[in-house]
């Protein structure tokens, strides 16, 4: 499906960092950037821009904070049209830590929030837009939002926000295609001046299918990660997205090389992807944190025990 307006944003390092406390070494991140650049991917989200007053750099790696000097270690010397993105969470960023766009190697700032915090997200996005950045607002756990609350939220975003893109985020991996269609159409109907984005998680092996569904209904900003790397069940795999899109600017081959060289060995060190506890969390529309904690225990393959810990035991 060729549509020139579609932009692909890779969030491998940012979302994958939720597994290892954002502690990827510069070599790995540079290899990802090099491959994304060669593949023609539009944006690379390299991590979070979190406040060092709230988070310790002794506990977290550098991609929790994304200082410009660290980003330069990754991107310098690599010819690229791939833009750099960072994410900020409501109430976790010090806005003074982010320099004006003209003084930074970052191009886009994405603000993540729940529907209930949209006022705070609008304030942040407008602040970063005034500093010259492309901006998005990512509505997390949208499967849990009530329809009337979402209507009010989207209306407020259209009227008050300077964000370029509003993202539908399936944080719990709970959406099916019908709901994805409904949400994208609803957003398109209300957000006349914004692009719509999709960020899908793979708890039920539907991240790619839901991403296609969003594209069909004119979502033009697409999130994905190399080999589906991401917290818990991971995300929509970038290689599948590039294989699906017919835009000749994209080249899947550098990403395939990257997977062979860097991600197959990484699978021996980190766990992500479709695993039954994550599927259960998606089925029940629950955040994966409980499933992630269960996977750390000695009884991690007792799937019934985990299921019943969420829904309660049934007498036999």
Helix, strand, coil % over all residues of the chain, rounded to 5 = 45, 15, 40
SS3 211: helix
Q: What does the domain layout of the chain look like in residue ranges?
A: 7-266, 276-311
At 80, list the tokens. 């690229």
Q: What is the pLDDT of residues 41-99, one digit of tens each?
A: 999 999 999 999 999 988 999 999 999 999 999 999 999 999 999 999 999 999 999 99
Q: What is the pLDDT of residues 150-190, one digit of tens each?
A: 999 999 999 999 999 999 999 999 999 999 999 999 999 99
CA atoms of 173 and 198, how far apart (whole Å): 12
CA atoms of 175 and 62, how far apart (whole Å): 32
pTM of the model: 0.96
Structural fold of domain 7-266: TIM Barrel (3.20.20)
């Amino acid at each position: 499906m060729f549509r020139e307006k579609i932009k692909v944003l890779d969030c491998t390092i940012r979302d994958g960092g939720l597994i290892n406390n954002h502690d990827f070494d510069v070599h790995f991140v540079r290899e990802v950037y090099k491959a994304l650049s060669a593949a023609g991917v539009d944006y690379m989200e390299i991590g979070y821009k979190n406040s060092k007053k709230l988070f310790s750099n002794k506990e977290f790696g550098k991609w929790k904070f994304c200082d410009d000097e660290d980003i330069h270690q990754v991107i310098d010397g690599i010819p690229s049209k791939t833009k750099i993105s960072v994410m900020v969470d409501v109430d976790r960023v010090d806005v003074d830590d982010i320099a004006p766009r003209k003084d930074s190697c970052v191009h886009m700032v994405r603000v993540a929030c729940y529907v209930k915090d949209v006022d705070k997200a609008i304030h942040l996005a407008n602040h970063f837009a005034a500093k010259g950045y492309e901006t998005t607002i990512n509505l997390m756990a949208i499967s849990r939002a009530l329809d009337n609350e979402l209507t009010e939220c989207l209306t407020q975003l259209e009227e008050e926000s300077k964000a370029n893109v509003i993202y539908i985020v399936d944080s719990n991996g709970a959406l099916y295609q019908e709901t994805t269609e409904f949400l994208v159409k609803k957003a398109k109907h209300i957000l006349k001046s914004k692009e719509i984005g999709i960020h899908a998680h793979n708890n039920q092996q539907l991240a790619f299918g839901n991403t296609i569904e969003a594209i069909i209904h004119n979502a033009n900003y697409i999130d994905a990660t190399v080999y589906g790397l991401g917290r818990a069940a991971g995300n929509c795999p970038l290689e599948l997205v590039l294989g699906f899109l017919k835009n000749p600017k994209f080249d899947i081959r550098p990403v395939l090389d990257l997977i062979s060289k860097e991600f197959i060995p990484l699978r021996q060190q980190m766990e992500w992807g479709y695993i039954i506890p994550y599927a259960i969390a998606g089925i029940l529309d629950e955040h994966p944190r409980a499933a992630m904690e269960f996977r750390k225990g000695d009884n991690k393959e007792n799937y019934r025990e985990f299921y019943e810990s969420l829904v309660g035991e049934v007498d036999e």
